[in-house]
Amino acid sequence: GDYIFAFPGYNTDEFYRYSISGNTWVARSSPSQPFYYGASMTYVPNGAYCSDASGCLFAMRGSNTHQFLRYDIGGNIWTNMTPTPFWIAYGGTIIYHDGYLYAQRGGAGDDFFRYDIANGLWDYLADRPGTKNYGSSNSMVYDSNTDIIYDLRGYNEYSFYSYDVTN
């Protein structure tokens, strides 16, 4: 697509859409609460999980809260979703793959969870081999060739972890 969505973070409720082709920023509707440390969001392209085929964004608010939100791109509307089963702090991150969102809370925690978008349920997956610290929000990537999620550990660590979503 042509757009990039961003929030400044650090206790602000501002939310923007950037047009790559137009080289312009436009303010969009604000969430009910501000984003803060540990906030993270991911794009879900499937209109079946969103209000229309434009897709939507799912976001964890951060700020040591459980708040979990969906932003419908076409409708420019924020909706509160099933809260995360863990508080989100520095290093919180979330990504999408095949109907699920994979998330970790950060804050020196080792928890790793999955959200079933269709059913609105969180499932505990496994403890990571080490803690997830600050300095590494939005650090997960999914490799579609191998079905593996890779994640940086953060906090001056040079290690990363992998998680096989099929096993």
Task: Per residue of the chain (167 residues), give pLDDT as tens.
Answer: 789 999 887 788 899 999 999 999 999 999 988 988 888 999 999 778 888 888 999 999 988 899 999 999 999 999 999 999 988 888 888 999 999 999 988 877 778 899 999 999 999 987 777 666 665 556 788 898 999 988 877 666 777 888 898 87
- Give this prediction's pTM: 0.89
Q: How many CA atoms lie within 13 A of 30 on its CB side?
A: 10
Cα separation, 71 vs 91, in Å, equals 21
Pairing of strands 121-124, 113-116: antiparallel
